[in-house]
């Protein structure tokens, strides 16, 4: 459930980054043109594989545009929608030590609003006190790229970090997820 809130928050912020509405906001509100996939940082070509579906996980009660839903009830099955919009991201490092920096490059349509939001292995994200960093947005350039670097707090726990990304373009919205690992004190990632 928490993951859905994060993905939903990204989509709303992206619409604001596009100028507060228009066609992108209308598409998002109508549940049109949304995408979701999951890739791992440093996994070669799959780390930047374009996406094209919004998914409802088997057994869930509802479909959340651009994200997987959770919760009880509902019949088993998968619902898929096609989208003209994709958003991908690459991370500079597959493994990062606490106190060091991570760089993300998001790619989608030119001149589009984009955001990212990191959730750490202990469940901490920007909505919780003591957040470790990794929550920002901006606008892609004429090539469709936007890059940001953040410093991760030295207190960040070892383990997998989920980074939700979202884009709002003139023709629709899209979300995606990438991962990286936080090392332990000795610098080892699992």
Confidence band of 20 (pLDDT split at 50, 70, 90):
very low
Q: What is the mean pLDDT of the chain?
A: 71
Token pair belonging to 159 = 């383990």
In sequence order, the β-bridge partners of residue 89 are: 106
Token pair belonging to 74 = 């509902």
Confidence band of 81 (pLDDT split at 50, 70, 90):
low
Token pair belonging to 149 = 């670097």
Model's pTM, two decimal places? 0.63
Residue 132 · residue 96 · CB < 8 Å: no
Confidence band of 185 (pLDDT split at 50, 70, 90):
confident
Q: How do residues 37-58 score in pLDDT, each as one tens digit?
A: 433 344 333 333 333 333 323 3
pLDDT at 32 over 60: no
Please report the pLDDT score of residue 37 as a whole number.
41
pLDDT at 118 over 70: yes
Strand 145-151 relative to strand 159-169: parallel, antiparallel, unpaired? unpaired
pLDDT at 72 over 50: no
Please report the pLDDT score of residue 2 as a whole number.
28
DSSP 17-31: HTTS-HHHHHHHHTT
Long-range contacts of 51-54 (CB under 8 A, 24+ apart): 51/86, 51/87, 51/88, 51/174, 51/176, 52/82, 52/83, 52/86, 53/80, 53/81, 53/82, 53/83, 54/79, 54/80, 54/81, 54/83
Please report the pLDDT score of residue 190 as a whole number.
82
Please report the pLDDT score of residue 82 as a whole number.
61
CA 55/CA 38 separation, integer angstroms: 11
User: According to the per-residue pLDDT averaged within each range, which of 6-10, 81-85, 175-179 is highest?
Assistant: 175-179
The class (CATH top level) of 2-182 is: mainly beta
Q: How do residues 122-154 score in pLDDT, each as one tens digit?
A: 999 999 999 999 999 999 999 999 999 999 999
CA 104/CA 181 separation, integer angstroms: 14
Please report the pLDDT score of residue 84 as a whole number.
83
Tell me the angle at which helices 2-17 and 22-29 cross, rounded to the nearest 10 degrees.
160
What are phi and psi for residue 147, nearest 5 degrees? -125, 145
Is the model more confident about 13 or about 104?
Answer: 104
DSSP 95-131: EE-TTSEEEEEEE-STT-EEEEEEE-TTS--TTSTT-
pLDDT at 29 over 50: no
Give the percent of the chain with pLDDT over 70: 56
pLDDT at 88 over 60: yes
């Amino acid at each position: 459930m928490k993951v859905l809130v994060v993905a939903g928050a990204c989509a709303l912020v992206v619409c604001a980054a596009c100028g507060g509405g228009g066609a992108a906001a209308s598409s998002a509100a109508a549940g049109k043109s949304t995408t979701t996939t999951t890739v791992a940082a440093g996994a070669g070509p799959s780390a930047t594989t374009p996406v094209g579906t919004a998914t409802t996980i088997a057994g869930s009660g509802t479909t959340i545009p651009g994200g997987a839903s959770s919760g009880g009830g509902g019949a088993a099955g998968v619902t898929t929608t096609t989208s003209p919009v994709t958003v991908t991201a690459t991370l500079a490092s597959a493994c990062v030590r606490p106190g060091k920096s991570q760089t993300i490059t998001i790619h989608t349509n030119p001149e589009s609003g984009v955001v990212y939001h990191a959730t750490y292995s202990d469940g901490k994200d920007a909505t919780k006190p003591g957040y470790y960093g990794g929550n920002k947005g901006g606008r892609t350039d004429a090539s469709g790229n936007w890059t940001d670097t953040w410093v991760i707090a030295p207190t960040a726990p070892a383990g997998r970090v989920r980074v939700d990304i979202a884009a709002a373009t003139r023709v629709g919205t899209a979300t995606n997820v990438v991962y990286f690992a936080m090392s332990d004190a000795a610098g080892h990632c699992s």
